[in-house]
Structure 1
Amino acid sequence: MTGALAPTKPLTVADRCDRCGAQAYVRAVLVGGGDLLFCAHHGRKYTEALRANGADIQDETDRLNETPTAVVED
């Protein structure tokens, strides 16, 4: 994530990749307004070009390596 990115909501399971429909882990906030959402694969593919064109990138791909917390019910 770059320092210039305006505060945005974390991506959720409902956010889908604009290329393939998989769960989105990368948001590109475009200079002219609007944003694009990408899965980790498409995020890696397009991030450099988007940054070169001034987009701010919100990258949450580190969430793919998180271990889920077990929920214990009483």
Structure 2
Amino acid sequence: MSTSVIEGAELTAADRCDRCGAQAYVRVTLASGFDLMFCAHHGKEHADKLRQVALEIHDESAKIK
């Protein structure tokens, strides 16, 4: 299975990390159709495993300066 990094609907300040509640910068869409949201820290921490299970990854972490 290949994972694509896509341009989807932008994440907003209302989108929160499922791990810690910080602002989400990464949205991962799974085969089940469910989305997981991660802050930049947790998205990076779990990136290898997420690539293995994700259909799509929308990553806006480059917005952080």
RMSD over equivalenced CA pairs, Å: 1.9
Alpha-carbon deviation of 1:19?
A: 0.4
- What 5-or-longer segments of structure 2 have no aligned partner? none
Deviation at 1:55, TM superposition (A): 3.2
Higher strand share: 2
Gaps of 5+ in 1: 66-74
CA distance in 2, matches of 1:53, 1:38: 15
Q: TM-score, normalised by structure 2?
A: 0.83
Q: 1-side partners of 2:60 and 2:20: how far apart?
A: 17
Question: Which residue of 2 is the match for residue 63 of structure 1?
Answer: 63
State the AA in 1 paired with 2:4: T
Larger Rg, first or second structure (1 or 2):
1
Contact 1:26 1:60 in 2 (8 A): yes
Aligned residues: 63
Q: Once the two structures are aligned, what percentage of the paired residues are identical? A: 49
Q: Does 1:53 align with 2:45?
A: no
| Higher RCO (CA < 8 A, seq sep 6+) | 2
